[in-house]
A and B are shown apart, each in its own frame.
Chain A
């Protein structure tokens, strides 16, 4: 009952002004969303890739990659190169397949029933979907941080050195050194150095996420995968993580999925805008946010569509 009254009220006053800017099929108003429309029709238009991306040395090479969840295709024929030593952000509206793409890189999707892929991804020139690849040794080459901080129910120290523990490392001095180095890199050493033996679950959300980042980088991964690392954090913690990502990017290649366009603009060197499982535009972040080639990208990054 209340809903009805609400909608009638707003209909009469302010709402339609916003709605007119929102996307409508076949181009709304005076601008035509050609690429988006093509994608909506189920076509695979050629993505707009800026030359800067192709020039740099790539660490991950995605080639004609397709992925299905049982019947539903989540990724359509994506080809992209992730530049080495930079932060690359994947942006796009919900359900555009950016997390799926990220999880395809360390084959976390293997855990999902009924996933099928075609095409390939290679990490430093070694294919990761070849039958000879041991998925465990593949994951050891990558670090991953998840949406929700997921420290294990053990001490902070044990959390950070977990990847070393499962590799059978027992020497205390090695573990301690790695732990300290990693926590310093994750910019949390000063906060936790006196409570390393305490449970990691006692930390705040932002601290937990930084411990998770420390855990992800302790074994020197070739690429660090961040799956919306700040979506469960408050603004202050988000800011800290963003600063941390900038620091880390000096040493690691980072691939980050984010919902937050400002975040992508702040932390990343390259940005790929995805829509419905396709890449729409991919290029240097500055270009993409200031002078994108496509009207869709411009509207998306400025919040007028999506």
Chain B
């Protein structure tokens, strides 16, 4: 017995330590997860609840104060005053056009009674915010005659209003349509005429076409080179499968030299093309001006006709007046503050809500009609009323554009990094740099986008190179030829940097490798210089730029999308690299074994295999890009631009325009609104909408990805 005990004592391990007990860890980790999840759920719940109650119609209260004042309003908040400690209520009282604040705090102890009168209505109007009052009459006004009263008394007025309002709104919409489409197109035609004259004047004053003839000599250089290469290939066609038979590289070099020479030739011809129009002289300019004046006169006549048409419709429209009276002052809702003594037009009413008598169904009706208005119309009243349609369109288009830009860019970069580049110190360095790009504060991208895309690239598109940077024609063409020759040299060096089959690279190969890098860098620098210092290019929108209204040389959709693309590039590169690395090497070997080239293998095996991963990257980029606001403030998002970035008019996508964006809209509503109390509920609603849109975009992308995955993978995978 004692013997066994001693053996036990030798082999016995220590009792389980308290620290080895894992149960608390389960609780701790689970608890952490629950805390995280509940924070997210609470955030979403808060947004959903607050966002969706904005449009729910609330009771209109008639408040009587102890001092005898009576007013109509909707209670929006109830809280204790921080300073005085009294309970007070925030009433939305509207009626801004008769000179009162549209929100007022009332101490609860001042209130003597609150009623909810059945006939109280809330008017949502096109301008000047809401109006609270009691319907009195609907009147038809005749010029110089007695007005006809169509309905009198609350009930009758509401019935008549229901009958008349729809038609009145339709008329109003027609007027807006005429103004926007007809007048808009006439205006833009006049503007186009003016710009074409302006452009002709600018070109006439420049008159430097003589420069172009210089280029002709240099076409000759590339022409001879191209023809020579073609001749060599033809001459050597019988010398085996490979030109020169001794070395595959010589054939490749000659063929590629021919291609480069041909490309440079075409480029040179395009730059100094003789088919380009001759410079207009003064006499031609005069004729152009005269023609333009005639066309403009015709357009102005047309303009007046449309105006007359609009007036006619408006006159009929303005006959119908709605008199809604505020009970205390007896004032009715006017047409506008300047026309304060005329009752408003029926067509100015967006919605009339008799909140106190509405059934639940009626309330639901109002709720959904407000939502629809919110989603489908333009904003009004400094964004505090109306809809966010252009904002939604701007956000969605921007997000799609950025995804379209970033995905190919990122995929190509990742392909090079993973498939072509030699894995070594430099590649790791680049990889680290790319990863660090993801950590750069987004506002920095905004500053870069504004400086580089908007002003530098955009300015170049508008007016060509900066005047002081333009080179003389001789120097420029010299540089052009140098670039062409260096391209061929660089290619040759690259060819000779490859070792012979089955041999290790010799020092000659290694030097050629370094040399080719040097030459490529030089070519890159030359190309940048050739582009930025070209003496021939004066931009596409010179006239507008000289008028001080740059087209691309300012903030706009295109630059915003590119800035965000740059911002989200690391996400795509990292995701794509991982996806490419996950494609098994046996697939690549199998493809090579079938006689596929590297590019064929990438295109047919690697990319399809990596596609789900690439899409994951695109989705992440989209999610990141959709939520960015800070850089957008610098590169293109604006408070108000009702012109959509897409339209049915050519070029269909107006990438040069500034745009509205939900993220910026939330900021604007919350912090820059002139009527912050009115905008506050909309902050929640817009946040909810923003969340929903980002979610919808992501969901669509995820659906596409999972369909692709199902198509790619076999049933067992």
A→B interface (CB under 8 Å): 67, 106-111, 114-118, 129-137, 139-140, 142-144, 146, 148, 150-154, 162-163, 165-167, 198-203, 212, 215-216, 219
Contacts and interface: CB of A to CB of B under 8 A. Distances in A.
B715 A139 contact: no
A131 B246 contact: yes
Contacts of B590: 146, 150-152, 212, 215
B511 interface: no
Greatest chain B CB density within 10 A among A135, A140, A150, A198 is at: A150
Given A201-B713, A201-B716, A137 B593 contact: no
The 3 nearest A-B residue pairs measured at CB = A201-B714, A199-B714, A140-B595
B501 A131 contact: yes
Given A199-B714, A212-B590, A137 B241 contact: yes
Contacts of A130: 501
B671 to A, nearest CB: 51
Which secondary structure dominates where chain A touches chain B? Answer: mixed
A136 B595 contact: yes
Contacts of B500: 131
A204 B584 CA distance: 19
A170 B530 CA distance: 42
A165 B595 CA distance: 11
A142 B604 CA distance: 20
A200 B714 contact: yes
A153 B588 CA distance: 12
Contact of A146 (B248, B586, B604): B586
A152 B248 contact: no
Contacts of B715: 198-199, 201-202
Contacts of B717: 153, 199, 201
27 contacts: A107-B501, A110-B501, A129-B502, A131-B246, A131-B247, A131-B500, A132-B246, A132-B248, A134-B248, A135-B501, A136-B596, A140-B594, A144-B593, A150-B584, A152-B590, A153-B713, A162-B604, A163-B594, A163-B595, A165-B604, A166-B597, A201-B713, A201-B717, A202-B715, A212-B590, A216-B593, A216-B594
B503 A116 contact: yes
A166 B592 contact: no
Contacts of B245: 132
B593 A146 contact: yes
B609 interface: yes
B587 A150 contact: yes
Contacts of B594: 139-140, 144, 162-163, 166, 215-216, 219
Contact of B714 (A135, A148, A198): A198
B119 interface: no
B500 to A, nearest CB: 5
Contacts of A167: 595
A115 B502 contact: yes
Interface in B666-717: 712-717
Nearest to A141: B595
A135 B598 CA distance: 11
Nearest to A117: B502
B605 interface: yes
Contact of A202 (B241, B248, B584, B714): B714
A36 B504 CA distance: 31
B636 to A, nearest CB: 41
A115 B587 CA distance: 21
Contacts of B593: 106, 108, 139, 142-144, 146, 216
B586 A150 contact: yes
A67 B503 CA distance: 10
Interface in B568-610: 584, 586-587, 589-597, 600, 604-605, 608-609
Given A132-B245, A166-B600, A166-B604, A137 B713 contact: no
Given A153-B713, A153-B714, A202-B715, A108 B501 contact: no
B591 A152 contact: yes
B18 interface: no
- What size tier do the contact residues of chain B reach? 35 or more
A22 B504 CA distance: 39
Contacts of A144: 593-594
Contacts of B596: 136, 162-163, 166
Given A153-B714, A166-B597, A216-B594, 16 more contacts: A110-B502, A111-B592, A116-B504, A117-B502, A136-B595, A139-B594, A140-B594, A146-B589, A153-B712, A165-B604, A166-B594, A166-B595, A198-B714, A200-B714, A201-B713, A201-B716
B210 interface: no
Nearest to B717: A201
Nearest to B246: A132
B706 to A, nearest CB: 16
A133 B247 CA distance: 8
Contacts of B118: none
A136 B589 contact: no
A139 B503 contact: no
Nearest to B584: A150
A202 B710 CA distance: 12
Greatest chain A CB density within 10 A among B247, B500, B501, B604 is at: B501
Interface in B301-329: none
A1 to B, nearest CB: 12
Contacts of B242: 132, 134
Nearest to B600: A166
Greatest chain B CB density within 10 A among A134, A142, A146, A151 is at: A134
Contacts of B587: 150, 152-153
Contacts of B240: 132
A115 to B, nearest CB: 7
A207 to B, nearest CB: 12
Nearest to A127: B501
Nearest to B240: A132
Contact of A129 (B244, B501, B592, B597): B501
Contacts of B247: 131-132
B248 A162 contact: no
Contacts of A131: 246-249, 500-501
A166 B591 CA distance: 10
A64 to B, nearest CB: 13
A28 B586 CA distance: 41
Interface string B612-648: 0000000000000000000000000000000000000
Interface in B225-273: 240-242, 244-249
A285 B604 CA distance: 41
A199 B713 CA distance: 7
Contact of A136 (B501, B502, B597, B714): B597
Given A116-B503, A130-B501, A131-B246, A148 B595 contact: no
B102 to A, nearest CB: 63
Contacts of A134: 241-242, 248
Contacts of B246: 131-132
Contacts of B595: 136-137, 139-140, 163, 166-167, 219
A162 B608 contact: no
Interface in B495-513: 500-504
B253 to A, nearest CB: 13
Nearest to A134: B248
Contacts of A166: 594-597, 600, 604
A32 to B, nearest CB: 37
Nearest to A121: B502
A159 to B, nearest CB: 9
Contacts of B504: 114, 116
Nearest to A165: B604
